[in-house]
Structure 1
């Protein structure tokens, strides 16, 4: 459902948030190792997240990425998805048809509307803190 870039962006944001909760700044190499992603591709994604004010970037040899601790609970998953994939996840045909709408629906049109609505609700209601905390206490994993 998410693009590969969005998947990496979500995982990277969760990892950076977890590290930030421990007052740590993390670099590109550590992020790519933790989320098992290609370095150059991940660097571009992280740039998008910085541009969209989800992550902060610190330059220099001891630099890297972090999120101000108080902001971690304010950032919702929907912001990360929107920063990378835009609003496309909420539109388009579930089967990939070019002309699918209420007047000319595909076979899954009505059911997919419900899936999209539930996805939107989940993305809007899930904070980065909630996801990073689950990772921190070992309830969830980023790299399996």
Structure 2
């Protein structure tokens, strides 16, 4: 089970993979990214185009082209990826998906979910892509199932 959509999961894994592979000013192609994160190539291509349009990752066309990240894009919080793909519902939505849920009219899981959501928001907004990348470089994390 995941709190993120499948699209967002692939987006986050792809961003981490790109960050990891482009630390030495390299660029990485769609095929390598898809293989590196066990993602369908065609589906991932659409995700990467969207992330590139939104400035989360960078891309270059041509024989030496591909996807990459620079100092600016690496400094973005992971929340930028989540918001670019899934919007801000994880930050404000009801855990049961109800539209009427609020502090004055809570759903059955409102208060517990609010505490969990606060921790998730803190992690997503305060941790940069670069910080996650440091652990990838050290081999502390994996991107394949």
Tell me if both proteins adopt one fold, taking TM over 0.5 as the criterion.
yes
Shift of 1:27: 0.4
Please tell me whether the aligned partners of residues 18 and 132 of structure 1 are also in contact (alpha carbons under 8 angstroms): yes
Distance 1:51 1:115 in 2: 31
In structure 1, runs of 5+ residues without a counterpart are none
> What secondary structure sits across from 1:107 in the alignment?
coil
Distance 2:77 2:93 in 1: 23
Distance 2:140 2:82 in 1: 22
Aligned to 1:60: 62
Q: Map residues 21-60 of structure 1 onto 2, 5 A cutoff.
A: 21-60=23-62
Shift of 1:73: 4.2
Shift of 1:54: 1.2
Distance 1:98 1:48 in 2: 28
Shift of 1:107: 1.3
Name the Cα RMSD after superposition.
1.4
Give TM-score scaled by structure 2 length: 0.91
Paired residues in the alignment total 143
Distance 1:115 1:2 in 2: 14
1:11-32 CA-to-partner distances (Å, cap 9, x unmatched) read 1011111111132200000000
Aligned to 1:86: 87
> What secondary structure sits across from 1:45 in the alignment?
helix
Distance 2:13 2:126 in 1: 17
> What secondary structure sits across from 1:65 in the alignment?
strand
Give TM-score scaled by structure 1 length: 0.92
1:71-97 CA-to-partner distances (Å, cap 9, x unmatched) read 254111011111111111112221233
- Shifted more, 8-17 versus 96-105: the winner is 96-105
In structure 2, runs of 5+ residues without a counterpart are none
Distance 2:128 2:97 in 1: 30
Please tell me whether the aligned partners of residues 16 and 133 of structure 2 are also in contact (alpha carbons under 8 angstroms): yes
Aligned to 2:16: 14
